[in-house]
Amino acid sequence: MKTRIGAALLGAAIAVGGLTLFANSRKSVNTILDTTAAPVMKTGYSTNGTAVQPVDFEKAASTAVPAVVHIKTLTKFKQTAGRQAPDQDPFGGMFGQDDPFRRFFGDGNGRPFQQPDQRASGSGVIISQDGFIVTNNHVVNGATEVTVTLNNRKNYTAKVIGTDPNTDLALIKIDGHDLPVMTIGNSDDVKLGQWVLAIGYPLNLDVTVTQGIVSAKSRNIGINTQAAAPVEAFIQTDAAVNPGSSGGALVNTNGELIAINSAIASPTGSFAGYAYSIPSNLMRKVIGDIMKYGSVQRGYLGISMAPEGLDDAKKKELGINSDADGVFVIDVDPKGAAGEAGIRKGDVITKVNGEKVDEDAQLAEIIARQKPGDEVKITLDRNGAEQTVSAKLTNKLGSFASTKSAAVESLGADFTDLGKDDAAKLGISGGVVVSSIHDGGVLSNQTNMHPGFIITRVGDQPVRTVDEFKDALSKQGSNFQIEGMYPDSKELYYYGINDFKK
């Protein structure tokens, strides 16, 4: 379980709102790609046919539980070959040259480092009769084995189809047929105060159902540190969830999935009153892209937004002098979609495609649900005057995400070209500098590499620029070595990468 400033990823899942489908269905139902979903079991009715808040949640829970699965993962130890970074011995030599830690883990001089196996568990939601399951990225990230247990106690080996660290979502697949499927609702229709259910496998217990209300929307709690460009617009609820609930479902009283449970706010790591879930509309976009394209096709607006809750002094420092309700633009990429559309620093975005926006997290979610090439209508306030512009969204690099970019992103680090003068001082023709390493990426999980490392070779291919690095990385198999040096030493270091997923 990962923690940050009182917030914690759940490491497990919660699921609800499933619909059991019959074995004689002629067409396999997929609630992500199909727009004609099976009918929803209503839990309560008024005289005019509108669903009302029920006294109990028995019908919603009983229809949802079959579509909730228990996910168990195993991360086998990895042997990382290569020399340890200079002055990075965590024991500082205090045990001497023959200490047991050095004999077991290696001494960083070319011998492998051994790490113990790790086991964890979470939850997931079945979204197709043939075995597609949505869960959290942090549930399956780095796992070498993924096992899924259905509510009927049947076990399956699962394959990770794709992940998106930016939203902390993942898609896995089991070989099944005629499985119970979760009906997906419209998270935009979620209202403050409405009843919700959370179902999953917390604390390694059997399937568990809890109830609560929606207490906030579009919450950004800054917990998704695994991502290079995180999108957080959580639905907040007081339905009790705990470690083991990640990847499961938050459902409404009609048995519809409205969010994927992902995190809790807690000083202890266990439930303390607030849980956070990824809206179903965002999930549908991300998982749908993975199904259709193999990776997420995300549009970018190209702005920096002022965070919520700024005091007057900070507003003045940032140049915010508008009282308009909306999202204040503090910077614009001139080559991005916003810059091309004429949006300027100091503008206040008040609507997107006619939908009112009040918070930066809400705006980020709306844009994240678009793909490169989509045009969005941006209504903004500029010095008290309202105007609307059309922005054509682009990929972060100005085009659709390529497999090369996806491979680099999975490493979880930022890279820059080594300057010519620096290369000359080191006596090399070029290289790629690892400027920063993010928690949760391949480099963080599998190596003891440190920022500042200069990559000169990937596998058997020399690399002198980031473009050459991307090309070399895209051609590697599951296991390979990264070779390079640190700027204060001309000695070569090697880092082994295992089970690499491009």
DSSP, collapsed to helix, strand or coil, labels residue 112 as coil
For residue 306, how many other CB atoms are within 10 A of its CB? 18
Structure tokens belonging to residue 64: 């949802």
Which letter, b or e, does each residue of 191-211 get, where b requires 16 or more Cβ atoms within 10 Å of its Cβ?
eeeebbbbbbbbeeeebbbbb
Structure tokens belonging to residue 244: 């083991």
Angle of helix 280-293 relative to helix 360-368, nearest 10 degrees?
Answer: 30
CA–CA gap between residue 493 and residue 502 (Å, rounded): 23
CA–CA gap between residue 250 and residue 230 (Å, rounded): 21
Residues pairing with 381 in the sheet: 348, 386
Q: What are phi and psi of 206, to 5 degrees?
A: -70, 175
Unique residue bearing structure tokens 């682009």: 394
Structure tokens belonging to residue 347: 């503008």
CA–CA gap between residue 486 and residue 33 (Å, rounded): 48
For residue 147, how many other CB atoms are within 10 A of its CB? 17
Residues pairing with 249 in the sheet: 199, 260
Residues involved in catalysis: 138, 168, 246
**Beta strand 18-19 pairing with 132-135:** unpaired
CA–CA gap between residue 501 and residue 410 (Å, rounded): 8
Helix (H) or strand (E) holding 225: none
Structure tokens belonging to residue 439: 């928690």
Contact 284, 128 (CB under 8 A): no
Q: Report which DSSP code applies to 68.
A: E
Helix (H) or strand (E) holding 359: none
Q: Report which DSSP code applies to 193.
A: T
Structure tokens belonging to residue 77: 């130890």
Q: Return the beta strands (E) in 64-139 as ranges.
A: 68-75, 118-126, 132-135
